[in-house]
Amino acid sequence: MSSPVFFRPAVAPTLADVVRWTGAAAPDGADLSAAVSGVAPLDGAGPGQLTFLDNPRYAPLLARTRATACLVPARHAAEVPEGTVALVAKEPYRAVAVVAGRIYPEALRPGSLFGTVGVSPSSTVHPEARLEAGVTVDPGAVIGPRAEIGSGTVIGPHAVIGPDVRIGRNCSVGSNATVVHALIGDRVILHAGVRIGQDGFGFAMGPGGHLKVPQIGRVVLQDDVEVGANTAIDRGSNRDTVVGEGTKIDNLVQIGHNVSIGRHCVIVSQTGISGSTTLGDYVVTAGQAGLAGHLTVGAGAQVGAKSGVMNDIPAGQRWFGIPAQAARDEFRLQATLRRLAKRAGPAAD
């Protein structure tokens, strides 16, 4: 079986280009004319490739790298082996991301999976839909009446765009995704299997049964939002569910109706956010965090992995635990429990 190459380099920059793109500092007298054919990890990089060190945990691998150049923080520059050019960067991870984006631009945003140019004849586009020039629609996709899609946007195979949906320019909608009752800004990425705008979970509960409450709001995704595979974002019940510009949402996240998420938040995999909760700008929720409904999480707050948030979180604070509380209180609680457990001695069989 042959070994396929999924991402081919679009350019072969020199080290001088790398320095110019990233602002990294090269050693005096270093030859910056060498070409970079790709990016690889420390222990897998060879001649012609660029590598990086950002996490000190991987510092032992640095001495053995065979890369042509390595982006490193200043404190590790002296550890770069002979034959590898040390490019000192304040943030090596961001620097290598810049370079990788130039070399592998196709990896930044999902494109057509079928090599489609324009609208595939095996897609279904309603005659009342409006597509700007330069929209790509893969086979099997369905676009409903009065939907509007901006130029440069790619609609993947078997994706469904509902009636009256608005999608901006240079977006990507992955295969088998569904987008209904939604307004999507520019440069938004929706990965495969995303569900945008389905019913929120709303019922008027009672002993005689649970009466379904019509969900008549929308989902609004602002510019530069990215939504990971198989994530669901419910439409609002009586107002909009909103995700602010630049926010990045991981795979397998559930966002309930009427939720408002600020700008440049990071929502990690398997987070669940219940209805009508508000997150300020730059909030981070780690994996499997759960947030109850009708809460407010202040700007810059961080929620630890597997935490259960039952109360409002002030801006800038870190909360952990079940139920979640301020980090200092959670650490104190855990320390107290460990001391009590030691005093109690080993558990009886």
Q: How far is CA 292 from CA 61, 181, 244, 296, 297, in A?
A: 43, 24, 20, 10, 11
Find how far residue 168's CA is from the centre of its chain: 19
Q: Rounded to an integer, what distance in angstroms lies between the CA atom of residue 133 and that of residue 135?
A: 6
> Residue 26 carries which DSSP code?
P
Beta strands in 222-339 (DSSP E): 226-227, 232-233, 241-243, 248-249, 254-255, 260-261, 266-267, 272-273, 278-279, 284-285, 290-291, 296-297, 302-303, 308-309, 318-320, 325-326
Residue 121 has which token pair?
Answer: 């004849």
Look up 257 and say whether it is catalytic. Answer: yes
Of 35, 41, 40, 34, residue with least CA distance to 11: 35
- Contact (CB, 8 A) for 116 and 131: no
> CA torsion sign, 112 to 115 to 119 to 120?
negative
Q: How is the chain split among helix, strand and coil, in percent rounded to 5?
A: 15, 25, 60
Q: Rounded to an integer, what distance in angstroms lies between the CA atom of residue 13 and that of residue 33?
A: 9
| DSSP β-bridge partners for residue 248 | 226, 266
Catalytic residue among 191, 257, 264, 294: 257
Query: Which sequence positions are flagged as catalytic?
Result: 257
